[in-house]
Amino acid sequence: MKKTIEKIAVIAHICITFIFVLLACLILFNALKIEYDAQGNAQVDSIVVVIIAVFAAVYVGLSAYLIYNAFTERNLLKEVLLYSDKGSLTKASASVIKNIAIEDAKALDGVHVKKVQIRPDEKLGFKMKVFVRVEKDNVSLALDTLRCMLEDSYVNILGLHFSAIDFRIDKMKSEYRPSVDVAEAKAKYINEKRMESKTAQQAEQQEEVSEQLTKQESSAPQQEVTQTIATVAEAPVGEKVDSIPTPSKKSSKKEKMYGEPDERPIADDIKVEIKDE
């Protein structure tokens, strides 16, 4: 039936194409006496416009249908070769293979076959895809049982072996319902583990920050002494160094209690001379 519809669509598509080509040729060679008004607009009867619009819509619809069939059902087989002898061939149609699958599915409760597709594989064999409706809880067990039944039926009835039998569940109905209490307990456990992991990460980050601050504080006085030595060493020979930067020192408890000592710079009275021996 579907193949017949495709043939009719192809014939109609070709006929409408021929009509459009013929109409374009008539207009090109001015075979149609078309009258024009003062503004240059063609005066065409409204019935002709409606007919052309209908043909154009049908043409677009047929084109879309043919393109859809060409790309969606590519490599689908309508019949399968069972065996060939000298001067004779024996084939089985896709409907025969589908009927066998339907009859096998009737022996199982809760599994119904809706459609079957057959395609060639890479090793010059055949693979089949079965579209099913399942009304059972254990889907894997039901489909594995149906696969074993189909393999046995095709081998013993037709002598046909499929390299793969795939299933696609188009409709599912199950009576299984999960327990809300068990799901909530699992969710709480997962949430607690997530919070513990987050707390551990925050503690590690705080330890890393404190270690970096400790390293910076311990390296600061050493950097100041190094800078002082570099200042004296860079001074020219015989030149007096006016001031030497001294390392910063934290105030002791006595200085905080009895007040700050003399704030006069320590290095004002120090004169350093470097003599060249």
Which phi and psi angles does 160 have, rounded to 5°?
A: -115, 135
Question: Domain residue spans in the chain?
Answer: 2-72, 79-172
For residue 202, the one-letter residue type is: Q
In tens, the pLDDT along 25-79 reads 877 776 666 666 666 666 666 777 788 888 889 989 988 888 887 776 567 888 8
Pairing between β-strand 79-85 and β-strand 88-93 as defined by DSSP bridges: antiparallel
Rounded to two decimals, the pTM is 0.48
User: Closest by alpha carbon to 169, among 193, 195, 142, 202?
Assistant: 142
The domain 79-172: what is its CATH number?
3.30.70.1350
Q: Point out which residues pair with 132 in neighbouring strands.
A: 113, 169
In tens, the pLDDT along 169-183 reads 998 888 888 888 888
